[in-house]
Structure 1
Amino acid sequence: MRILHHGAVNGVTGSCHQLYMNDYNSVLIDCGLFQGSEAAANNKNNGNNQHQLSIDFNVRTIKALIITHCHIDHVGRIPYLLAAGYTGPIYATQATAELLPLVIEDALKVGVTRDHKLIQTCLSLLNNQLIPVPYHQWRTIDVLQIPQEDISESEICYQRQKIRFCPAGHILGSAYVEIELATDKPIHRHRLVFSGDLGASYSPLLSAPRAPYRADTLIIESTYGDKRHEHRNQRRQKLQAVIEHAVSDNGVVLIPAFSIGRTQELLYEIEQFIHTAPEGSLWKNIEIIVDSPMAANFTTKYRDFKELWDQEAQGILKQGRHPLNFEQLHTIDSHQDHLSVVKYLAKRNKPAIVIAASGMCSGGRIVNYLTEFLPDSKADVIFVGYQAKGTPGRDIQKHGPKGGYVELNGKRISINAGIHTISGYSAHADQQDLLNFVKNIKHQPSEIRIVHGDEGAKAAFAEKLGELVPDARILRPSE
């Protein structure tokens, strides 16, 4: 057994890990896109402007692609994997299998091609290979396809591998993956756990992940391995206070948010503010605008999979409320309507909250809003998620409070708007959540590999893990 990492080890994007069971058989866990400075670094190091998209590893040995969730930094290279000749199964949870074609179609349109025929060809391949798997059910992958005369039929049975998805609480359909590997001793099967992205505790809508019973080898993310989030009550109060202050001068509030996960959590919280606000308060009059066809589609999917919501959200539904579909919520579909809304908001003197992608301001409709409103001192931008190095979101977050500027679409945009960061709304587990996940594994791992984090986060998390699991071998692999 060996593990090769093809992304998300020197940063937080491009998640892609290849598990070799032997020299002839492997499975791939995620196949994500590099973003921000991590994409630029891969280009520079490899002298290839397309490296962040390329599949530079052996596809012939891959017997299965396993998807933890459908954020673009975990699935964005799938079209290139298919183009490289991968024809095997693609396993995902039922909800992820519903969302994934939407994500891939959008990624192709935005970053690759507008050729309808080419896009449909890719989607057809994806749908033919996609296999939905319910949570908590083992799925067998027969990886032994090597003709060896000295292997008996009974021994072949023990060479079949098993995978299982368990809820990760990150976004709808997200999972950590348990993989059981057969060994030459049938009684013992080596169990690996790939965390994917783990959700934060007490997040809206989805329950926090429960640790697996056993992990012999653990591959775990460390996005916030050096940080602690605010408690949900604190971050909710802060979000409410920031918005109320921001709209007190009738300004526009911009919230860059990923279409999957963050947008739905924000809507859930905002509906709570509106529901509990007294009649005549500003909350009863603020327009909430979701300007993203993708986000609207994903919100519909969230409603379709209500059985995955946590107890609190289920209780709200029983009250007859609709936290993802309320009266003051407006969704914008067409690009022409989007442009009209930007102009409309720029001319009017009435507060509004706009939620639009992308979450790191590296593209999408949020860029037009930022171009229009960043120079406006009455406007405010609220960051509620991680901003990777080299993204416009990180630049706005860093330079905005100092009255700096940001480059958007090749133009220098001055920042006069208020800039706020509420880290507690990250969909990622913080340091304590990650440590609790490891602590609650009853049969502790003998090896832990820390991935998906900046160097500082990985180092801080490794130190804490060393104290928590002193007998484990703790690694920080590189590509």
Structure 2
Amino acid sequence: MDIIHHGGFDQVTGSCHELRVSDGERYLIDCGITQGHDQSSVPGALPDVSFVSDSIKAVIITHCHLDHIGRLPYLLAAGFNGPILCTKASARLLALVLADAIQVGISRDAELIEAVLERLQQQLQPLAYQQWWQLSDRCRIRLQNAGHIMGSAYVECDVDDQRVVFSGDIGCKGTPLLPDPTPLERADLLLLESTYGDRSHESRADRQQRLKQRIERCIEDRGAVLIPAFSMGRTQELLYEFEDIWHQLEQSHQQQFPEIVVDSPLAAELTDVYQELHELWDAEAKQRLQQGRHPLSFSHCHTVRDHDQHMALVNRLTSTAEPVIIIAASGMCAGGRISNYLRALLPDPRTDVLFVGYQAQGTPGHDIQTYGPSGGYVYLDGEKVTINAGIYTLGGYSAHADQGELLAFIGSAQSAVKRVRLIHGEPHAQRALAAQIRERFNIPVETAAELFGG
């Protein structure tokens, strides 16, 4: 048995790991694209799928973020015709995410998009959580809830008498809508993400209060709050929090609340699916439903789907002063509708930009986060834009476990984890987490630098 990494090893994005049971029996866990600083330096370079062969028997998807699924269309084009295994919720979400990604990044040809989606549906094989699936005489897998986004999973692989676990992305405890990650059973080898392996998140307990403070400033300054957010996961979490703030204001008879605009057709479609899948919500969210509340659809929240409506709103906000909260993709400001808002409103000191997720190096979001507080500038689609807006980061909204939660995930195992290999993290994050794992658990830990140098 061997494990080969085609991405997401010594970097955060581009997750693609090959479990080689034998020369003729191989499996891919995830097939994602790189983003930001992780991307190829060759302009226009296509994602690498050179490893495709008849010996790849199946692809197992941990969740539907593009850095875990974005290479799938290229994999299909290269001739892969085996099963694509994922949770039932991910199977429901996958087509929406890939259709949008193809339209934005590959082609707007409706026939081509439909052909890819039809092929995808033929190969998709939805699996239930916590049930073993026999891939071959030597290998079986089981998907467990990872608590990252709807349908996210970590993958347990039993190869002969060895248990290999691929973490995918592990979520935080207390994430809105989602149950906490399922504790580990055991692992002879745990391949563990390390995105935030070198830090702790801000308190999740008071994040709603900090979010409310930004709303209050929005009302006072009569300016816009721009929230770059991934269409899936983060957008729904924010809506959940805003609904609760609005509910509290209603209960105390305070009616002042700015308009909330979700400006993303994909986010709107995904939110609809999130509502359909409410049986997967956590106990708190289900209780709100029983009380007659609608955590993802409420008064003062509006959706913009049409591009003309989007541009009209951008132009309106450029010329008028009004409090409004805009949630739009992309989450790292690398294209999407958020770019139009940023170009128009970053120079306005009444504007606030609120980051609630990871900003990879090399993305405009990272540059705004880094240089914005000192009144710098950012290049958006080749245009230099001065930053006069307020720039804020609420770390308590990350969908990734921090160092303490990653250590707790290892410690949750019923039987001690025997060995860890760190993936999905920058070298400094891997080093910091590796040191903590060795100190706390006294088990072998591998990092990309230690295995391959660098």
Q: Once the 2 structures are TM-superposed, how far is the Cα of residue 22 of structure 1 from its aligned partner?
A: 1.0
2:256 maps to 282
2:225 maps to 253
Q: Once the 2 structures are TM-superposed, how far is the Cα of residue 247 of structure 1 from its aligned partner?
A: 3.0
2:354 maps to 382
Classify the secondary structure of the residue corresponding to 1:355: strand
1:122 maps to 116
CA RMSD, Structure 1 to Structure 2 (Å): 1.4
Aligned residues: 449
Identity across matched positions, percent: 50
2:6 maps to 6
Q: Once the 2 structures are TM-superposed, how far is the Cα of residue 71 of structure 1 from its aligned partner?
A: 0.2
Classify the secondary structure of the residue corresponding to 1:428: coil
Provide the rounded CA distance (Å) in 1 between the counterparts of 2:156 and 2:227. Answer: 35
1:459 maps to 431
Classify the secondary structure of the residue corresponding to 1:233: coil
Cα 1:302–1:466 shift into 2, 3 Å: same
Classify the secondary structure of the residue corresponding to 1:244: helix
Q: Once the 2 structures are TM-superposed, how far is the Cα of residue 468 of structure 1 from its aligned partner?
A: 2.2
Instruction: Tell me whether 1:84 sits opposite 2:61 in the alignment.
Output: no
Provide the rounded CA distance (Å) in 2 between the counterparts of 1:449 and 1:114. Answer: 40
1:223 maps to 195
TM, length-normalised to structure 1: 0.91
Q: What amino acid sits opposite 1:256 in the alignment?
A: P
Provide the rounded CA distance (Å) in 1 between the counterparts of 2:294 and 2:150. Answer: 17
Provide the rounded CA distance (Å) in 1 between the counterparts of 2:44 and 2:266. Answer: 27
Provide the rounded CA distance (Å) in 2 between the counterparts of 1:134 and 1:307. Answer: 13
Provide the rounded CA distance (Å) in 1 between the counterparts of 2:153 and 2:170. Answer: 8
Q: Once the 2 structures are TM-superposed, how far is the Cα of residue 274 of structure 1 from its aligned partner?
A: 0.7
1:167 maps to 145
| Aligned positions of 1:226-245 closer than 5 A | 226-245=198-217
| Aligned positions of 1:8-47 closer than 5 A | 8-41=8-41, 43=42
Q: What amino acid sits opposite 1:456 in the alignment?
A: H
Provide the rounded CA distance (Å) in 2 between the counterparts of 1:334 and 1:136. Answer: 40
Cα 1:303–1:478 shift into 2, 3 Å: farther
Higher mean C-alpha deviation, range 62-71 or range 333-342: 333-342
2:372 maps to 400
Provide the rounded CA distance (Å) in 2 between the counterparts of 1:109 and 1:473. Answer: 41
Larger radius of gyration: 1
- On the 8 A contact 1:168/1:199 being kept in 2, the answer is yes
Structure 1 residues 127-157: Cα deviation after superposition (integer angstroms, max 9, x where no partner): 1000111111111112xxxxxxxxxxxxxxx
Provide the rounded CA distance (Å) in 1 between the counterparts of 2:343 and 2:436. Answer: 42
- Counterpart of 1:416 (choices 388, 397, 409) is 388
Q: What amino acid sits opposite 1:75 in the alignment?
A: I
Q: Once the 2 structures are TM-superposed, how far is the Cα of residue 329 of structure 1 from its aligned partner?
A: 0.7
Q: Once the 2 structures are TM-superposed, how far is the Cα of residue 349 of structure 1 from its aligned partner?
A: 2.6
Classify the secondary structure of the residue corresponding to 2:225: strand
Structure 1 residues 169-199: Cα deviation after superposition (integer angstroms, max 9, x where no partner): 10000000111112xxxxxx21111000010
Q: Once the 2 structures are TM-superposed, how far is the Cα of residue 282 of structure 1 from its aligned partner?
A: 2.5
Q: What amino acid sits opposite 2:146 in the alignment?
A: A
Q: What amino acid sits opposite 2:344 in the alignment?
A: E
Provide the rounded CA distance (Å) in 2 between the counterparts of 1:450 and 1:293. Answer: 35
Provide the rounded CA distance (Å) in 2 between the counterparts of 1:10 and 1:177. Answer: 20
Classify the secondary structure of the residue corresponding to 2:298: coil
| Aligned positions of 1:298-447 closer than 5 A | 298-447=270-419
Q: What amino acid sits opposite 2:58 in the alignment?
A: A
Higher mean C-alpha deviation, range 219-228 or range 346-355: 346-355
Task: Please list every run of 5 or more consecutive structure 1 residues that lacks an aligned counterpart in the other structure.
Answer: 143-158, 183-188
Provide the rounded CA distance (Å) in 1 between the counterparts of 2:302 and 2:241. Answer: 16
Provide the rounded CA distance (Å) in 1 between the counterparts of 2:33 and 2:270. Answer: 20
- On the 8 A contact 2:437/2:443 being kept in 1, the answer is no
Higher mean C-alpha deviation, range 78-87 or range 53-62: 53-62
Provide the rounded CA distance (Å) in 1 between the counterparts of 2:259 and 2:245. Answer: 13
- Counterpart of 2:45 (choices 50, 63, 67) is 50
2:245 maps to 273
2:58 maps to 64
Higher mean C-alpha deviation, range 21-30 or range 345-354: 345-354
Classify the secondary structure of the residue corresponding to 2:366: helix
Q: What amino acid sits opposite 2:256 in the alignment?
A: L
2:92 maps to 98
Structure 1 residues 294-338: Cα deviation after superposition (integer angstroms, max 9, x where no partner): 001110111111111111111111110001000111001111111
TM, length-normalised to structure 2: 0.96
Structure 1 residues 71-102: Cα deviation after superposition (integer angstroms, max 9, x where no partner): 00000000111111110000010010011011
Q: Once the 2 structures are TM-superposed, how far is the Cα of residue 475 of structure 1 from its aligned partner?
A: 3.7
- On the 8 A contact 1:9/1:478 being kept in 2, the answer is no
- On the 8 A contact 1:249/1:378 being kept in 2, the answer is yes
1:151 maps to none
Instruction: Tell me whether 1:202 sits opposite 2:174 in the alignment.
Output: yes
Classify the secondary structure of the residue corresponding to 1:65: strand
Task: Please list every run of 5 or more consecutive structure 2 residues that lacks an aligned counterpart in the other structure.
Answer: none
Cα 1:478–1:299 shift into 2, 3 Å: farther
Q: Once the 2 structures are TM-superposed, how far is the Cα of residue 469 of structure 1 from its aligned partner?
A: 2.2
Q: Once the 2 structures are TM-superposed, how far is the Cα of residue 340 of structure 1 from its aligned partner?
A: 1.1
Q: Once the 2 structures are TM-superposed, how far is the Cα of residue 125 of structure 1 from its aligned partner?
A: 1.0
Structure 1 residues 374-421: Cα deviation after superposition (integer angstroms, max 9, x where no partner): 010101100000000000000000010111110011100000010000
- On the 8 A contact 1:10/1:478 being kept in 2, the answer is no
Higher mean C-alpha deviation, range 304-313 or range 388-397: 304-313
Structure 1 residues 314-368: Cα deviation after superposition (integer angstroms, max 9, x where no partner): 1111110001000111001111111111122223332110000000000100000
- Counterpart of 2:156 (choices 175, 178, 185) is 178
